[in-house]
């Protein structure tokens, strides 16, 4: 997998499959199946020597906070290297899920290097993050529920997301919810009422600090599998918004669509009897918002029927 731009980051695909593999576990992603992605260079990658277009969710955050473990749980297999102390992610690793067997369109889950190891490394990684933001439709920033100080995370997000519009693509995924006091040793993990109250208190703290909508913040535990489906639901929700915007045509695109429809209905004689140079020019006039011309103004229109 090669970036079609210049991110300057080594990229490695750790898994390739059809999207059905993910849908079997997370039906929330079924809307992506067969999606026709617009050929935008900003989301173009080279996969197997061919230009490919990706709907992309990238996972970022501090080293040791469970980015890679979370991705492995979502993918249902050990694809991304994990280590509780040291960073295993020094490159960009991705799992690619093809949306249509006949097209090079993918849903990409990307794991980026973790921050917090050193000032020099953080500087380089933040640059990578900024570059990847331009190619990503959703950003999952992983925090720890048992973390007290979010200063570094706040600094990173403030550097990356400068506008409210940019913040709309963030999911704050708060991992290790099972470590919220009072810690329960029961498995599978089910939060006690006291833990739920403490999570709610923590949610207010995080929302106030990061100024991210509460609807984009989710508490979960990758290790315990708790609320992992909710993490995916949040990702799917943001991606649906992206897909919907892609389907919404600009005024220019809408007029061109109408022009094509009208042009197909014309006799294609290009006779000029209507006062226009050719049938396409007539169709453009008929499709315009002025409505100064009707398709019935084509002198040869009735002859077709």
81-134 residue pLDDT tens: 876 545 555 678 999 999 999 999 999 999 988 887 777 778 888 888 888 888
Query: Quick one: pLDDT at residue 6?
Result: 41
- Stretch(es) of the chain classified as CATH 1.10.15: 251-304
pTM of the model: 0.78
175-226 residue pLDDT tens: 999 999 999 877 789 999 999 999 999 999 999 999 999 999 999 999 999 9
- Stretch(es) of the chain classified as CATH 3.40.50.300: 2-247
133-156 residue pLDDT tens: 888 999 999 999 999 899 999 999
Query: Quick one: pLDDT at residue 8?
Result: 55
- CATH fold of 251-304: 3-methyladenine DNA Glycosylase II; Chain A, domain 3 (1.10.15)
Q: Which CATH class is domain 2-247?
A: alpha beta
- Tokens read off for 285: 């006039």
User: What rounded mean pLDDT belongs to the chain?
Assistant: 85
DSSP 241-304: HHHHHHHSPPHHHHHHHHHHHHHHHS------TTSSSSHHHHHHHHHSTT--S-GGG-TTTGGG
Query: Quick one: pLDDT at residue 175?
Result: 97
* H or E stretch covering 12: strand 11-18
């Amino acid at each position: 997998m090669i970036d079609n731009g210049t991110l300057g980051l080594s990229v490695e695909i750790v898994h390739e499959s059809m999207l059905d593999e993910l849908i079997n576990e997370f039906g929330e992603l079924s809307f992506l199946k067969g999606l026709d992605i617009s050929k935008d260079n900003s989301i173009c990658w080279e996969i197997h020597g061919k230009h490919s277009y990706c709907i992309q969710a990238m996972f970022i955050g501090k080293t040791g906070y469970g980015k890679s473990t979370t991705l492995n749980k979502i993918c249902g297999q050990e694809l991304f290297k994990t280590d509780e102390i040291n960073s295993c992610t020094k490159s960009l690793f991705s799992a690619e899920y093809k949306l249509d067997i006949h097209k090079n369109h993918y849903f990409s889950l990307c794991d980026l290097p973790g921050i917090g190891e050193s000032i020099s490394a953080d500087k380089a990684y933040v640059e990578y993050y900024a570059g990847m933001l331009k190619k990503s439709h959703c950003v999952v920033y992983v925090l720890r529920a048992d973390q007290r100080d979010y200063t570094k995370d706040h600094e990173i997000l403030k550097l990356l997301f400068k506008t409210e519009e940019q913040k709309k693509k963030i999911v704050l995924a708060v991992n290790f919810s099972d470590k919220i006091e009072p810690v329960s040793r029961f498995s599978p993990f089910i939060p006690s009422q006291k833990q739920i109250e403490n999570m709610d208190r923590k949610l207010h703290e995080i929302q106030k600090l990061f100024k991210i909508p509460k609807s984009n913040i989710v508490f979960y535990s990758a290790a315990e599998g708790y609320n992992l489906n909710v993490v995916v639901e949040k990702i799917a929700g943001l991606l649906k918004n992206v897909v919907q915007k892609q389907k919404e045509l600009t005024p220019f695109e809408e007029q061109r669509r109408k022009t094509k429809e009208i042009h197909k209905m014309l006799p294609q004689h290009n006779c000029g009897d209507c006062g226009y140079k050719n049938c396409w020019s007539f169709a453009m006039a008929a499709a315009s918002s002025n409505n100064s011309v009707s398709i019935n103004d084509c002198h040869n229109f009735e002859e077709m029927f």
